[in-house]
Amino acid sequence: MTGNGTQEQAADRAAAGTGTLLLGAAPIGRPDDASPRLRAALAETPIIAAEDTRRLRRLTSDLGVEPVARVVSYYDQNEKARAEELLGELLAGRDVLVITDAGMPGVSDPGYRLVVAAVAAGVPVSVLPGPSAVTTALIVSGLPTDRFTFEGFPPRKQGERARRLAELAAEPRTMVFFEAPHRLAATLGAMAEAFGADRPAAVCRELTKTYEEVRRGPLGELAAWAEEGVRGEITVVVGGAPAPEGLSDPADLAAAVAAREAAGTPRKQAITEIAKENGLPKRVVYDAVVAARA
């Protein structure tokens, strides 16, 4: 279908009374960070899909809002089925507000499936912008903000986590991660191993809350600190890889490829990456690997 066809379809459905999908950014700490638009949507939207209905009740109580909505649960385990149900409500002309425990729906929280379905069906989608742990942590970290990448939660299993971090070892942009407090020490230790113990980072805990804490330092030091135990909502910001100085000696090239292989990268891919990073033809790196194994 052409772009014009999709726009015409959306216009037809809007004219027929299609509802609007609203994605509301919830406070990540202090209730008074809620925007006026979110307050109004909580009070007026006929259907609210909440990640945790108890936390929603607490938020509306703190804000002095009395919802008129039918409130339904919308979390990871029921997201697929609930998205189909909510799309039906939207197509029937009823607005739906999606709100998660904190921050923006769809960012490591439920919401993405419903947005995709709504867009495909020509249902209007609108965002009520507001607090975000990702950008809040990035700004307060003291690390470069001109280019960054959000990596969500690292894998829980040790092997999968090591492979994922190895893939990011040469990432030049600042990286933002979420992590559970009981896994923080292990993750920081794995990051120190993959990125280097001296890589600068910041652990942001309980952002905007009473006991907000931002701990900055090299990954090795942060990993040792976290071994003592950490509580609260955690966002980790890690500096990007420094620009490579460039390898040319065959032994150094072979060693770089071997290090990538040890981290789980296939040899062919490792050769391609090392060649690209050092501005060399793949054949040069390949020959260096062969020579080292001779």
Residues 209 and 120 in one domain: no
Whether 22 and 120 share a structural domain:
yes
pLDDT at 19 exceeding the cut of 50:
yes
On whether both 15 and 109 belong to a single domain, the answer is yes
Domain of 74, CATH number, reads 3.40.1010.10
pLDDT at 11 over 60: no
Of 78, 112, 130, the last residue of a domain is: 130
Write the CB contacts of 248 (distance below 8 Å, at least 6 apart in sequence): 278, 280
Task: Give the mean model confidence (pLDDT) for residues 160-181.
Answer: 94
Give 197: exposed, middle or buried? Use CB within 10 Å, 0-12, 13-18, 19+: middle
Choosing from 76, 109, 130, the residue where a domain stops is: 130
Is residue 10 very low, low, confident or very high in pLDDT (cuts 50, 70, 90)?
very low
| Residues 125, 36 share a domain | yes
* pLDDT confidence tier of residue 6, bands split at 50, 70 and 90: very low
What is the average pLDDT across 249-257? 90
116 and 184 together in one domain? no
Residue 138, domain member (yes or no)? yes
Most confident stretch, 16-30, 72-86, 146-160: 146-160
Domain shared by 232 and 268, yes or no: no
285: pLDDT strictly greater than 60: yes
> Which tokens go with 17?
């009374």
244, part of any domain? no
Is residue 2 pLDDT above 70, yes or no? no
Residue 1 has pLDDT above 60, yes or no: no
Residue 151 lies in a domain: yes
| pLDDT (tens digit per residue) in 204-230 | 999 999 899 999 999 999 999 999 999
Which are the contacts of 114, defined by CB distance < 8 A and separation ≥ 6? 21, 49, 79, 82, 83, 86, 87, 96, 98
Residues 124 and 141 grouped into a single domain: no
- Residue 187 bridge partners (DSSP): none
Q: Do 103 and 170 fall within a single domain? A: no
> What does pTM read for this prediction?
0.74
**DSSP alpha helices (H): ranges in 196-243?**
219-226
List the domain range (segments joined by +) for residue 284: 250-293
pLDDT of the residue at 16:
55
Considering the domain architecture, whether residues 99 and 161 belong to the same structural domain is answered as no
User: pLDDT confidence of 13, banded at 50, 70, 90?
Assistant: very low
Q: Residues 6 or more apart from 119 whose CB is under 8 A from it?
A: 125
Q: What is the mean pLDDT of residues 29-58?
A: 95
List the one residue out of 211, 178, 41, 183 whose CA is nearest residue 103: 178
Residue with tokens 């890889």: 241
Q: In this structure, are 34 and 126 located in the same domain? A: yes
Last residue of a domain, one of 103, 130, 157: 130
List, in sequence order, every residue forming a beta bridge with 152; answer none if it has no partner.
Answer: 177
Q: How many domains does the chain have?
A: 3
Residues 110 and 22 in one domain: yes
pLDDT per residue as tens digits for the range 50-102: 999 999 999 999 999 999 999 999 998 888 889 999 999 999 999 999 999 99
